[in-house]
């Protein structure tokens, strides 16, 4: 088509217009315009055509939809094309990690790490493996390494903050959570993060609480109660804050009622009872 068009253009420029009759001139112009129109239509049609999804995308879709067979097929395909395919290795390791094949996941991550030594994702995931093996010291080291390569790596920050908080290093936990909070708000589209949101916010509130920033902690709890699904533990934490620090017994009682309503199991019953005792004692 293009070739034809070029010849027509040449024809147009080199035509002895003066010699041609009017009818002929009109005919040539008509031909040129029709060809240009066709060309334009062709180009438009080309642009409209949807691009097929790449193998990586298909692999990710299969992973998300937990279609194991398809996922493995695309992983193999991608790795056969490139044995060091970053995405493929990452997803494969994660797949094994999720299936509790920590050793294999570690092997794959280490393999990927050889090719991508500054990958924050790999370090974070290796940190998780260490965490799962209860090697918290190593996990902390790996999470910090993640943050070294990506200062704003949200998962690493949150993972690290949770470890610190568990070990009562709430100052470090709070600083990390403060950094993570705005990012968390931005990354709410992340499904996993969304599912962990309340836990993170709870940890944030606990860290604030332990850092004697009770008001800020209260705000966080309130926001959790407004926006997300509530777990009994969070309600109990909030009640504790209200009773022990803020001395808001009424609200605490309401929260406890809510908690008691949500879960009536023995595990929580005892805790609810203890907090209620503290309320009555204070009265």
Partner 1 sequence: MLGHKAVVRLSWFYLLTLPFLLLGLVSADEAQIEELSKEVSPFILTRAPASVRSRSAIKRTRRTIPKVRNKISNVKKKKSSLRYIKPTSQAKLYFPKGTDESELEKATILEIQHLYKLFKRTGKANIHLRLASLYVEQGRLIEYRLYDKFSKEMQQYENKKRPTIPTMNLKPVEEYSKKAIRLLNLYLKRFPKDPRADEVLFHLGYSYFQINQPNKGKAQYELLEKRFPKSKYLEPVYFHLGEYYFDRYKWPQARSYYAKAIRFRDRFYSFSLYKMAWCLFNETRISAAIKTLEKIIKESRRSSNKSINNRLSFSKEALTDLVNFYSHSRLKPVDAYSYFNQWFPGEEKVFSAVEKLAFAYKDLGNPKAVREVFHLLIKLSPYNPKSYEYQYEVVDAYNSVSRSIFIQELSKWVKDYGPRSRWASRNQSNAKLIRESSQKINKYVRNYAYRVHSSYLQTKKVSSRDVAYKIYSLYLKAFPNSKSNEDVRFQFGDLLFDLVRYRASVDQYNIVINRYKKGKHHEAASLNRILALQKIIPSESEVRKMARKADGKSIPFPAVVKEFEQAVTQYIVRYGKRKKAFDMLLVMANIHLEYLHLDQAISYWQRVISKSPSKDVSTITDAVNTILDIYNRKKDYNNLEITARKFLKNRKIYKLPVAKSVRKVLGGIEFKKAEILSNKGEFKLSAELYEQYAKSNSQVKLSITALYNASINYEKVGDHIKVLEIYQSLIRSRGIVNNPKIRLKIMERLPVLYENQGQYLKAAYAYKQYASVYKKSRKTPDYWYNAGVIFDGMNLHKEAVKAYLSYYRSSKKNAKNQVYYLIAQIRERQGDIQRAIGNYSKYLNAPDSNQLNQIRSAHKLAILYKKIRKKSQALQWDRRTIAISKKYKKGASYAAKAQFNLTYQAYARFKSIKIPSDTSKQAKAVQKKLSSLVRLNNEVKKVISFNHIPEVVSSLALMGSANKHLAQTILAAPTPKGLEPDKLKKYQAAVKQNAAPFMKSSKDFFKQALGKSRESKSYIPGLKEIQKELNAGSSVNFKETVYPLALESL
Window 224-283: residues binding partner 1 (CB under 8 A): 233, 236-237, 240-241, 244-245
Kindly state the smallest distance separating residue 214's Cβ from partner 1, in Å: 8
Kindly state the smallest distance separating residue 144's Cβ from partner 1, in Å: 6
Asked if residue 218 binds partner 1 (CB under 8 A), the reply is no
CB 79 within 8 A of CB 71: no
Kindly state the smallest distance separating residue 234's Cβ from partner 1, in Å: 8
CB 260 within 8 A of CB 228: no
Among 28, 58, 70, 79, binds partner 1 (CB under 8 A): 79
Asked if residue 68 binds partner 1 (CB under 8 A), the reply is no
Among 141, 181, 183, 279, binds partner 1 (CB under 8 A): 141
Segment contacting partner 1 by CB under 8 A, of 15-23, 30-38, 199-207, 256-264:
199-207
168: left (phi over 0), alpha (psi -120 to 50) or beta: left
Which residues does 137 contact at the CB level (< 8 Å), separation at least 6?
A: none
Distances in Å between the Cα of 266 and the Cα atoms of 44, 71, 241 are 68, 42, 22
Distances in Å between the Cα of 112 and the Cα atoms of 86, 130, 146 are 7, 17, 15
Asked if residue 56 binds partner 1 (CB under 8 A), the reply is no
Asked if residue 212 binds partner 1 (CB under 8 A), the reply is yes
Kindly state the smallest distance separating residue 216's Cβ from partner 1, in Å: 14
Kindly state the smallest distance separating residue 217's Cβ from partner 1, in Å: 9
Burial 232-264 (b: 16+ CB within 10 A, else e): bebbbbbbbbbbeebeebebbbebbeebbeebe
Segment contacting partner 1 by CB under 8 A, of 4-12, 17-25, 69-77, 252-260:
69-77
User: Quick one: tokens of 172?
Assistant: 């470090």
Kindly state the smallest distance separating residue 243's Cβ from partner 1, in Å: 10
C-alpha of 201 from chain center: 16
Asked if residue 162 binds partner 1 (CB under 8 A), the reply is yes
Asked if residue 61 binds partner 1 (CB under 8 A), the reply is no
SS3 121: helix
Among 86, 149, 181, 210, binds partner 1 (CB under 8 A): 210
Among 3, 19, 114, 168, binds partner 1 (CB under 8 A): 168
Distances in Å between the Cα of 262 and the Cα atoms of 38, 60, 167, 230, 236 are 68, 36, 29, 9, 11
Which residue in 121, 128, 48, 134 sits closest to 87, CA to CA?
A: 121
Among 8, 62, 108, 220, binds partner 1 (CB under 8 A): 108
Among 38, 107, 262, 270, binds partner 1 (CB under 8 A): 107
Kindly state the smallest distance separating residue 162's Cβ from partner 1, in Å: 4
């Amino acid at each position: 088509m293009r070739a034809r068009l070029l010849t027509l253009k040449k024809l147009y420029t080199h035509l002895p217009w003066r010699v041609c009759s009017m009818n002929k001139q009109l005919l040539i112009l008509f031909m040129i315009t029709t060809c240009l129109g066709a060309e334009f239509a062709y180009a438009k049609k080309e642009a409209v055509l949807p691009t097929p999804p790449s193998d990586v995308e298909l692999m990710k879709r299969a992973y998300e939809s937990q279609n194991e067979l398809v996922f493995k097929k695309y992983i193999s395909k991608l790795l056969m094309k490139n044995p060091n395919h970053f995405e493929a290795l990452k997803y494969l390791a994660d797949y094994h990690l999720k299936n509790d094949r920590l050793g294999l996941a570690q092997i794959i991550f280490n393999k990927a790490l050889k090719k991508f030594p500054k990958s924050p994702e790999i370090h974070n995931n290796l940190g998780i493996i260490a965490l799962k093996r209860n090697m918290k010291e190593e996990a902390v080291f790996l999470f910090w390494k993640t943050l070294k390569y990506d200062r704003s790596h949200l998962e690493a920050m949150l993972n690290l903050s949770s470890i610190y908080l568990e070990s009562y290093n709430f100052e470090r936990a709070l600083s990390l959570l403060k950094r993570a909070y705005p990012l968390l708000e931005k990354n709410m589209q992340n499904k996993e993060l969304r599912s962990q949101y309340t836990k993170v916010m709870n940890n944030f509130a606990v860290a604030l609480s332990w850092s004697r920033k009770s008001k800020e902690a209260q705000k966080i709890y309130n926001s959790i109660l407004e926006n997300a699904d509530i777990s009994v533990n969070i309600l109990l934490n909030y009640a504790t804050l209200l009773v022990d620090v803020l001395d808001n017994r009424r609200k605490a009682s309401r929260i406890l009622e809510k908690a008691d309503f949500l879960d009536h199991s023995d595990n929580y019953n005892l805790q609810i009872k203890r907090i209620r005792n503290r309320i009555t004692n204070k009265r």
